Amino acid sequence: MLKSNLNINNRLSLIGQVADFPKRYTSPSGIGHCRFSLEHRSEQMEAGLPRQAWCKMAIQVSGELIAITQSITVGRQLLVVGFITSHKTANGLSQLVLHAEQIEFID
């Protein structure tokens, strides 16, 4: 059995534009949260051919990083690094969410 290193087995970095207005709220335990979508578009090489890559991913920011979300606006280019997990939407569907551990402004 392989030893699991939680710090490297679930890592994702994504660059994209903020696609919707950040929604801020505080949990019952008093922790601040912010949620928004990041839209990524790029051209990638696959099997020697160019391929258009596109995705729109939900981003969750919690705790200490919440202060940086005051500068996040629609259209801003960001690099978000963190881990992904599945959340259930209001209609019961599963959605992958990137939980931010690092945010950098690109523009």
* In a domain? residue 7: no
* In a domain? residue 58: yes
* In a domain? residue 62: yes
Q: Is the pLDDT of residue 107 over 90?
A: no
* In a domain? residue 73: yes
Domain count, the chain: 1
* pLDDT digits 0-9 by tens, 64-102: 999 999 999 999 999 999 999 999 988 999 999 999 999
Q: Is the pLDDT of residue 2 over 90?
A: no
Q: Is residue 65 helix, strand or coil? A: helix
Residue 100 belongs to a domain with what CATH number?
2.40.50.140
* In a domain? residue 1: no
pLDDT given at position 32: 95
The mean pLDDT of the chain is: 93
pLDDT given at position 89: 87
Structural domain that includes position 31: 12-105
Specify the higher pLDDT residue, 2 or 56.
56
* In a domain? residue 53: yes
* Rounded Cα distance, 61 and 35, in Å: 6
* In a domain? residue 2: no
Q: Is the pLDDT of residue 1 over 60?
A: no
* In a domain? residue 3: no
* pLDDT digits 0-9 by tens, 37-47: 999 999 999 99
48 φ/ψ sector (left φ>0, alpha ψ -120 to 50, else beta): left
Chain centroid to Cα 29, Å, comes to 23
